[in-house]
């Protein structure tokens, strides 16, 4: 195949593969929220004081999904 055509095809395939990362981040975010809920239902009185920790955990898990979204965008529009 011609190199330029392969490169044009490859960046779309790469962007699609990077989207898998978003799904993986979704699993991570679900893990954080699910475990928080499981803990909160066992000890509801302690749950209120831990919401800040919950959001920090969610943010760290989500950031990596956002990175893969960024990689997809860079492949589509910047490469």
Partner 1 sequence: MAGEAEAHGEGAGLAFHPLDQFKVTPLFGDGPIEWYTITNVTLWMALAVLAIILVFAVGSKGRAVVPTRIQSVGEMAYGFVYKMVEDVAGHDGAKFFPLIMTLFVFILFANMLGLLPGSFTPTSHIAVTAVLGFGFFIFVTVLGFAKNGVHFLGLFWMSDAPLILRPIIAVIEVISYFVRPVSHSIRLAGNIMAGHAVMKVFAAFAPLVLISTIGVVVTPVSILAITAIYALEVLVAFIQAYVFTILACVYLKDALHPGH
Contact residues for partner 1, defined by CB under 8 A: 4-5, 8, 52, 55-56, 58-59, 62-63, 66-67, 69-70, 73, 77
Q: Specify whether the CB–CB gap between 35 and 5 falls below 8 A.
A: no
Shortest reach from residue 42's CB to partner 1, in Å = 22
> What is the Cα–Cα distance from 4 to 38, expressed in whole angstroms?
52
> What is the Cα–Cα distance from 10 to 47, expressed in whole angstroms?
47
Token digits for 2? 């011609």
Shortest reach from residue 73's CB to partner 1, in Å = 8
Shortest reach from residue 12's CB to partner 1, in Å = 9
Which CB atom, from 40 or from 71, has the smaller least distance to partner 1? 71
């Amino acid at each position: 195949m011609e190199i330029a055509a392969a490169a044009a095809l490859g960046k779309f395939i790469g962007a699609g593969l990077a989207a898998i990362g978003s799904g993986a981040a979704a699993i991570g975010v679900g893990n954080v929220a699910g475990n928080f809920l499981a803990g909160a239902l066992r000890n509801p009185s302690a749950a209120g004081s831990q919401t800040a920790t919950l959001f920090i955990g969610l943010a760290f898990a989500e950031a990596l999904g956002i990175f893969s979204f960024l990689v997809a965008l860079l492949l589509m529009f910047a490469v």
